[in-house]
Structure 1
Amino acid sequence: MNNPSNPASRQVAVWLVLLAAAGTFALTMGTRQTMGLFLSPLNTATGLGIGSISLAFAFGQLWWGLTQPFAGAFADKFGAGRVLFAGALLVALGTFITPYMQSTLGLVIAIGVLSAGGAGMAGPAVLMATASRMIPAEKRGMATGIINAGGSFGQFIMAPIAGALMVAAGWMNAMQILGLIVLLALPAAFLLSGAPATAGPATAAAQKPIGTREAIRTALRTPSYLMLAAGFFVCGFHVAFLATHLPGVIASCGLPLQFGAWSLAMIGLFNIIGSIAMGWAVGRWRMKSLLSLVYAARALAVIAFLLAPKTGTVMLLFAAVMGLTFLSTVPPTAGLVAKLFGVGNMATLFGIVMLTHQVGGFLGAWMGGKVFEATGSYDWMWYIDIMLAVGAALVHLPIREAKLVRPAMVPA
C-alpha cells in the first residue's frame, strides 16, 4: 500500500490506512475512556475503597505510556501489524476478566497491565507513526488530527453504550461486552502491517533513519524536546483526572449516572471537532503557539467551572469545552516530534513523549482518588490542574520549531 500505481489508488490506500488507524484508536481509546463509569460499581463489589481502585486505574495510565516507546521501537523495526494485533487482544482480555478481580493486585493486572498495556501497543505512537510515513509532510497534521478524532469518536460512542449496558445488563456484563467489541479492531492490524521504518516514507524526502539508541540520545539532549515532554506531562494529568473522576465529580453533585456517561460522551464528541480543527491548524500556525493556547484555554475553562453552579446543563457544557481541548494537543505534539527529528524514529520518540504524558496520567488518576478520600471533594485537584495548565502554556513558548539538522540525520 506504500507505492500505489496511480494517484487515485494512492488516495484510496491512504484513506484506508487512516480509517483503519482511526478505527483502531476508536475501539481501544473508547473502551479505556469509559472505565471511569465502572469505578463506583467496582468499589461497591469489592469494598477496596476509591483510593485502592484509583491506584489500579492510575497504574494503567502509567503502563499505557510505558508500553508505547517499546511498541514504537518494535513497530519501527518490524512493522506495525503484529504490534496492533497483540494490543487489541490484550485490551479485550484485560477488560473481559476485570469483573472477576477481587483484590487491588488483580485489578492492577487486569486494568493496569493487560488492558492498558494492550491499548498502549495499539495507541497513538504506533498509529500516527504508521500514517506519517505514508503521506507528504504537509498533510501529516490533518492525518494525525483524523486519527486522534477516531479516539474521540470511540469515546463518544462507547460511553453511552457502556452506560446503557450497565442499566440493562449490569456493570459486569457491560464491561465484558465492551471487551468483546474491541476485537473488531483485529482486521485493521492487517491493513496497517506495512513496511518498517527502514523502508522509508513514500515521499522523495525520505531520510535514512539512525539507530534507535542514537535517536533517543539526540532527543534527550534537545531542550525543545524536553519542554515538549514537560507540557505533555500536564496534558496526561488533566486527561486522566477527567476520564477517571469526572463521573465521580458529577455524582458528588447529586446528579444521576446518565450525566456521567453523557459528559464523557460530550468530551469525545467535541474532541473530534478539536482534533480535526487542530490537524488543520498545525499546517498554518506555529505548533508551539497552538499548544500554549490549548493549555491556557484549559485553565480558564476550569476556573469558569469552579465558579458556575453545578447543574446538569453546566456539566455538559463544561464537558463540551474540555472536549475541544482534551486530546487536541496530540496532533501538534506529534507534529513537532516529526518536525524536529523526521519520521524514521517517530514511533519511538513520540512513544517517549507519550510516556511522560502517562506519568502525569498516573498522578491525575491516583491523586484524584486520594484527594477525594482525604477531603471529601475534588476541589484541590482542580486547583492543581489550573496551576499545571498555566505552567504548560508557558513552557511551550521557548520551543524552537526549526528542524534540527545533525550529521547523523543528513538525508541519505
Structure 2
Amino acid sequence: MRHLVAGQKLSLKQLLIFAGLMVTLSMGIRHGFGLFNLPITSANGWGRETFALTIALQNLVWGIVQPITGAVADRYGALKIMIAGGVLYALGLVGMAISTDTLNFYVAGGLLIGLAQTATTYSVIYGILGRNVAPEKRVWAMGITAAAGSFGQFLMIPVEQGLLSQFGASDALLALAMMASLIIPIAWMLREPQMQHQHQRGDQTIREALTEAMRNPSFGYLTLGYFVCGFQVVFIAVHLAPYLKDLSKIYPDVGAPMVATTALALIGLFNILGTYSAGVLGQRFPKRYLLSGIYITRSFAIMAFVWLPLSPVTTYVFAAIMGFLWLSTIPLTNAIVAQIFGVKHLSMLSGLVFLSHQLGSFCGAYFGGYLFDQTGSYAVVWNIAIALGFIAFLANLPVKEQSIHRLIAA
C-alpha cells in the first residue's frame, strides 16, 4: 500500500496554479498546430496528408503510451515523468522547425511530441489531483485545471499566429520550443511527497485494476465516447483553417487568415467557460447525462455549420459553441473513472480511456487529410463527425457512476 513520507505538502491553491500552468503550456501549444498546416506543407512541397499524418501519429503515440506513463506516475510519482516530457516537447518542436524531409518531421512532430504529451497533460495531472484533493472537490478541481488548459488554447492561438506572421513557420516553432522548456520548472513545483510502496492485504495490483476495468461495461461506454471526442476535436483543430481557405472561393470573406485564427481562439476562450461549467455541474447532476448532452449538441452544431451558408459570423458562432463543448468531456469522464474505480490507479485508467480518445484523434487528423486528398473535399469527414456524435450520445446514457465495492481477502 502506498503511503506518503516526509516531503513537500501541496496546498490546493498551489496544485491548481501549477497544474493549470502545466496544461496551459502543454495543451495551448498543440492547439495551434493547425495554423502551421498550410505554411509548412507549402514551403516543403508536401501534400496535406503529410502534415495530417504527423499530427495523427502524435495523437496515436500519445494514446498508446499514456497508460504506461500513467502507471509509472501512479507508482513512483509524476516529477521525473513531467520533466522528461518538458525536454521531449522542446526537442520535438525544434525538430519540426528544422526538418526538411517527411521522416524527420514524423519523428519530431509525431513521436517526440506525442511522448511529451503523455507526461504533461491531463492523465498525469489528474493523477496528482486525485491523490491530493478531497473527493468532494475532485471534479471541481479537474474542471478548474481543464479550464486552465482551455485558457492556454485561447492564449496561444494569437501568440502562434503572431509568431508565424512575424518570423515564419521555422522560427515560430523554435520560439514555441523555448516556451515548452518552461514545463521543467513548473514540474518541479508540482513535485509530490516521496512515495513508498508496501503490499498489504487488499492492495489492488495493476493487473487486477486492468481486469476490473475491462470487465466493467461503464468503462467501455466511456471509452467509446472518448473515441468520438478525439475524432471531432482534432479533426476541427487541424483542418478548420484549410477548410475555410478552400471555401473562400465560394465565400470570400472566410478566407482571411484572421478568420481561422479568431475561430480557434474563440474555441479556446469558450472552452474555459465550458470546462469550468462541467466541473461545477458535475458536482450537482449525473455526469453521464452531461456527457451525452455534450456529444449530441456537438453533432447539431456541426450540422448547422456545414449545411448553412458560411460567413465569418457563422464560423465564430460555431467556434463558440464547439469551444464550450471542447474539453468539457475531460473532467466529467475522469471524475467518473475516479468515482467508479478509486484514485490509486487513476492515471493509468484515465490513460487507458484516453487511448481511445487518441485513436479517434488519429482517425480525425489523418482521414481528414487523406479523404480530402482523395475527394477534394472535407464533406465525408464532417458527416462522419456528425454520425459519431449521435453514437456517443447513446453510449454514455447507460454509464453507472456507482463506486465498486471490493472484497478484501483474508
TM range (shorter): over 0.9
Partner of 1:226: 220
Q: Distance in 1 between matches of 2:116 and 2:203?
A: 27
Change (3 A) 1:107 1:394: same
Q: Do the aligned partners of 1:76 and 1:198 also contact (CA within 8 Å) in 2?
A: no
Partner of 1:243: 237
Q: CA deviation at 1:253?
A: 2.2
Q: CA deviation at 1:297?
A: 0.6
Q: CA deviation at 1:99?
A: 2.1
Partner of 2:147: 149
- Tell me which amino acid in the other structure corresponds to 2:116: G
Q: CA deviation at 1:211?
A: 1.3
- Tell me which amino acid in the other structure corresponds to 1:111: G
Alignment of 1:67-106 (within 5 A): 67-106=65-104
Q: Distance in 2 between matches of 1:107 and 1:402?
A: 45
1:250-298 per-position Cα deviation (integer Å, ceiling 9, x unaligned): 2112211122222111111101100000000111011111100000110
Alignment of 1:102-141 (within 5 A): 102-141=100-139
Q: CA deviation at 1:208?
A: 6.8
Q: CA deviation at 1:173?
A: 0.8
Change (3 A) 1:280 1:274: same
Q: CA deviation at 1:307?
A: 2.6
Unaligned runs of at least 5 residues, structure 2: 249-254
CA RMSD of aligned residues (A): 2.1
Q: CA deviation at 1:198?
A: 6.3
User: TM-score, normalised on structure 2?
Assistant: 0.93
Q: CA deviation at 1:191?
A: 2.1
Partner of 1:50: 48
Q: Secondary structure at the match of 1:407?
A: coil
Identity %: 36
Q: Distance in 2 between matches of 1:208 and 1:361?
A: 37
Alignment of 1:379-398 (within 5 A): 379-398=379-398
Unaligned runs of at least 5 residues, structure 1: 201-206
Q: CA deviation at 1:19?
A: 1.2
Q: CA deviation at 1:3?
A: 10
Q: Is the deviation greater in 236-245 or in 46-55?
A: 46-55
Q: CA deviation at 1:102?
A: 2.1
Q: Is the deviation greater in 189-198 or in 311-320?
A: 189-198
Q: CA deviation at 1:138?
A: 1.1
- Tell me which amino acid in the other structure corresponds to 1:321: I
**Is the aligned partner of 1:360 residue 2:354?**
no
Q: CA deviation at 1:139?
A: 0.6
Q: Is the deviation greater in 190-199 or in 141-150?
A: 190-199
**Is the aligned partner of 1:334 residue 2:328?**
no
Partner of 1:13: 11
User: TM-score, normalised on structure 1?
Assistant: 0.93
Q: Do the aligned partners of 1:141 and 1:332 also contact (CA within 8 Å) in 2?
A: yes
Partner of 2:258: 258
Q: Secondary structure at the match of 1:133?
A: helix
Moved over 6 A (4+): 196-200
Q: Distance in 1 between matches of 2:268 and 2:84?
A: 25
Q: Do the aligned partners of 1:92 and 1:180 also contact (CA within 8 Å) in 2?
A: yes
Q: Distance in 2 between matches of 1:334 and 1:157?
A: 25
Q: Distance in 1 between matches of 2:18 and 2:40?
A: 33
Q: Is the deviation greater in 275-284 or in 12-21?
A: 12-21
Q: CA deviation at 1:343?
A: 0.3
Q: Is the deviation greater in 115-124 or in 327-336?
A: 115-124
